[in-house]
């Protein structure tokens, strides 16, 4: 990671050291086992809570440490740089996405009930947007929530849900008014122990193998109307408000992972011999590494700029979309070139660069595809 980044201070440096120690002690010894299993151990969640890695932006009155989003960013960066994409994704969905919705739109009762449990790792949270027939076009969702007295009755199916096997609480994007267009959608909290809720299969993915990603089924799931998160019909406005932060988290994850790929590749080419000399001494290698390092330097500068804007409440949809688009596309180019330097060994999963290559691909898809980012950016030309 780059030293002396002005966006951070000494408190964040201390947290960074803590995250590194946690990753080395609690994740590294069992990471390969979890990659094969397709899911992390549930015990990692309370351990992360005890270490202060969960929802650090939550105010002290709800059990958090009262940090700002830079604390979240430290957790994202360090877990991504460690190469632990699965746990990094799981924690980020919980910390940076779900927690944000509860902080911004939750009632006082909802905050008091759920935030302390999320901080402690007692409750794992997921957000359910995507459906089998609906990805980036959220207005096409079909999951219905029908008001029945003091309850909502929810029916539908979601897919590609991170924390989908582990979650205790789901923020479900539902349609409460079939004729309301974008204003007919609502966010509803669904406890996964309610009758009619069912976990689907844990999906078999290209990368992020230890992150449980699932289908979820809602078969006439009855929840109290008090589980409405925000206002009825307010889901689209809430999503548009929170998505810039989600896209910034993806940019942070992406550039930290790209930095890791670059660092291990630089070390490898200085050791690997071809034609009697280190691969890293060839002009082609040096020039390509120079290009990659330049991309990283520019990327870090822009991501830090966006992070500073976000802390001040000034991050726009367009800036966050630019950060996600440029960083994830750069990450894809970088990790492809880095793998090439490893030759045939880069194609073997026992080499870390192989896993980093596979893990990078989804970052151009979730949180809004690169094509959607271009569409959003083009509206501000």
CA dihedral 12, 92, 28, 65 (to 10 degrees): 40
Asked if residue 215 lies in contact with residue 164, where contact means CB atoms within 8 angstroms, the answer is yes
Walk me through the domains of the chain, giving residue ranges and CATH numbers: 10-123 (1.10.540.10), 127-231 (2.40.110.10), 236-378 (1.20.140.10)
Does residue 135 register a pLDDT over 80?
Answer: no
Q: Which pLDDT value is given to residue 373?
A: 96
Q: Please report where in the chains the tokens 């974008």 appear, as a residue.
A: 182
E strand or H helix at 187, and its extent? strand 185-191
Does residue 322 register a pLDDT over 90?
Answer: yes
CA dihedral 301, 307, 309, 312 (to 10 degrees): -140
DSSP state letter for 363: G
Q: Which pLDDT value is given to residue 1?
A: 67
Q: 185: alpha, beta or left, given left = phi > 0 and alpha = psi -120 to 50?
A: beta
Q: What is the CB neighbour count within 10 angstroms for residue 186?
A: 24
Choose among 196, 189, 197, 217: nearest CA to 131.
217
3-class secondary structure, 274: strand
The pTM of this model reads 0.95
pLDDT digits (tens, 9 = 90+) for 152-180: 999 999 999 999 999 999 999 999 998 87
Mean pLDDT of 352-364: 98
Per-position DSSP letters for 275-309, written without gaps between them: TTEEGGGSHHHHHHHHHHHHHHHHHHHHHHHHHHH
Angle formed at CA 57 by CA 52 and CA 58, multiple of 5 degrees: 85
Does residue 301 register a pLDDT over 70?
Answer: yes
* Residue 10 falls in the annotated catalytic set: no
Give me the chain's average pLDDT, please. Answer: 96
pLDDT band per the 50, 70, 90 thresholds, residue 181: confident
Asked if residue 255 lies in contact with residue 294, where contact means CB atoms within 8 angstroms, the answer is no
Pick the catalytic residue from 11, 246, 350, 371. 246
């Amino acid at each position: 990671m780059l030293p002396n980044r002005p966006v951070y201070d000494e408190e964040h440096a201390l947290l960074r050291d803590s995250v590194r120690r946690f990753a080395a002690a609690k994740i590294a010894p069992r990471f390969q086992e979890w990659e094969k299993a397709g899911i992390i151990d549930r015990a990692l969640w309370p351990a992360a809570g005890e270490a202060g890695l969960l929802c650090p932006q939550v105010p002290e009155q709800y059990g958090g440490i009262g940090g700002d989003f830079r604390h979240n960013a430290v957790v994202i960066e360090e877990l991504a740089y460690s190469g632990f994409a699965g746990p990094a994704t799981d924690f980020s969905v919980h910390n940076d996405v779900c927690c944000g919705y509860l902080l911004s739109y939750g009632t006082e009762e909802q905050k008091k009930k759920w935030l302390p449990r999320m901080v402690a790792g007692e409750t794992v949270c997921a957000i359910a947007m995507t459906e089998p027939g609906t990805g980036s076009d959220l207005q096409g969702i079909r999951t219905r929530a029908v008001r029945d007295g003091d309850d909502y009755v929810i029916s539908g199916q979601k897919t590609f849900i991170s924390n989908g096997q582990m979650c205790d609480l789901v923020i479900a994007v539902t349609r409460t008014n079939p004729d309301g267009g974008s204003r007919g959608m609502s966010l509803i909290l669904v406890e996964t122990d309610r009758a009619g809720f069912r976990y689907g299969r844990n999906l078999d993915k290209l990368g992020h193998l230890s992150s449980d990603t699932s289908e979820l089924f809602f078969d006439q799931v009855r929840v109290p109307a008090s589980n409405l998160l925000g206002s009825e019909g307010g889901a689209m406005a809430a999503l548009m408000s929170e998505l810039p932060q989600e896209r910034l988290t993806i940019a942070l994850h992406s550039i930290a992972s790209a930095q890791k790929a670059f660092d291990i590749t630089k070390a490898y080419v200085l050791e690997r011999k071809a034609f009697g000399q280190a691969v890293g001494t060839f002009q082609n290698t040096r020039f390509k590494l120079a290009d990659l390092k330049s991309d990283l330097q520019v990327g870090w500068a822009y991501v830090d700029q966006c992070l500073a804007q976000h802390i001040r409440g000034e991050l726009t949809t367009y800036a966050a979309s630019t950060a996600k688009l440029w960083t994830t596309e750069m990450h894809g180019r970088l990790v492809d070139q880095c793998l090439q330097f490893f030759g045939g060994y880069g194609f073997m999963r026992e080499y870390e660069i192989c896993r980093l290559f596979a893990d990078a691909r989804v970052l151009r898809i979730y949180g809004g595809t690169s094509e959607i980012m271009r569409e959003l950016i083009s509206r501000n030309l």
